[in-house]
Amino acid sequence: MRLTRQKIEPITVDRYTGGARINHWITAISLVLLALSGLALFHPSLFFLTDLFGGGQFTRMIHPWIGVVLFFSFFGLFFRFVRLNFWTRSDTIWMLNLGTVLENHDEEHDELVEIGKYNAGQKIVFWSMSVLIIVLISSGLVMWDQYFYDFTSIEQKRFAVLVHSAAAIVIICVWIVHVYAAIWVRGTIRAMTRGYVTGGWAWRHHRKWLRDMLGGGKSGDHHTGTTPAA
Ligand code: HEM
């Protein structure tokens, strides 16, 4: 008897359109470039980072413009996803049972409450990024002397430097949490690179979303990559 190995295609569910992914990666690249160029200007010991941007003068010139790109790019993400990031009662339950998620036992969690497209942790990251980007762009404009020197006083500019630096440090921490979570929950990165996730991933981490995608169908239903993604 000969045994042959059969290739079984996993069931996949669409999670992001091509447009959403391009929008996301422009935002992500902008934030990384902003962090590097901002850190280069933040402290003399990090000045060597200006080499990545063609020297000190060019870094100083390009940093605010990348900020403008990030602002508009994030604006696009915000309007795509805001509807799915409103807080619900199930998010409070998720937060109260955070321990089970951190121990990687989401399935126990699902017995309590099923999760929609985003869990409470993702929603907190979303809203933190939204607020911090507003703070960064507004404090950044106050300091952008090349165009707005006459509009604000020296005291206001000094205060803006403080707020801008603090917000930058917090957003870098939020970004680290976001990337760590994306890598830690296996199969998540593929959502933003290829646009889809496996049925198993959706069932385990975002069961309510999966049910909604299946049009209220029950767990046994199969669906292969034709569902609408945001
Ligand atoms: C550079 C490293 C980054 C990686 C590897 C990464 C990865 C991901 C992945 C895998 C998802 C999909 C999560 C899911 O569908 O469950 C996602 C969603 C998202 N990412 Fe990122 N990301 C990065 C940077 C950023 C930055 C810099 C921002 C914004 C400043 C951002 C904003 C978002 C938003 C708004 C979502 C949708 C989630 C929601 O609305 O709650 N990402 N990211």
For the chain, 230 residues long, give each residue's pLDDT as a single digit of tens.
Answer: 455 566 777 789 999 999 999 999 999 999 999 999 999 999 999 999 999 999 999 999 999 999 999 999 999 999 999 999 999 999 999 899 888 877 777 666 666 788 999 999 999 999 999 999 999 999 999 999 999 999 999 999 999 999 999 999 999 999 999 999 999 999 999 999 999 999 999 999 999 999 998 885 444 444 444 344 56
Q: How far is the CA of 143 from the centre of ligand 1 (A)?
A: 28
Answer whether 192 contacts ligand 1 (Cβ < 6 A): yes
Virtual torsion, Cα 140, 144, 150, 153, nearest 10 deg: 50
Q: Provide the H-helix boundaries in the chain.
A: 18-42, 56-81, 89-96, 98-102, 106-112, 120-143, 145-148, 154-184, 189-193, 199-205, 207-213
How far are the Cα atoms of 129, 214, 216 from residue 223, in angstroms, in the given order? 33, 7, 12
Q: How far is the CA of 24 from the centre of ligand 1 (A)?
A: 7
Structural tokens at position 187: 């199969």
3-state SS assignment for residue 197 = strand
Report the residue among 24, 86, 87, 119 best suited for mutation to probe ligand 1: largest number of ligand atoms under 8 A from its CB: 24
Q: How far is the CA of 171 from the centre of ligand 1 (A)?
A: 13
Residues with catalytic function? 178
Contact call for residues 200 and 10 (beta carbons, < 8 A): yes
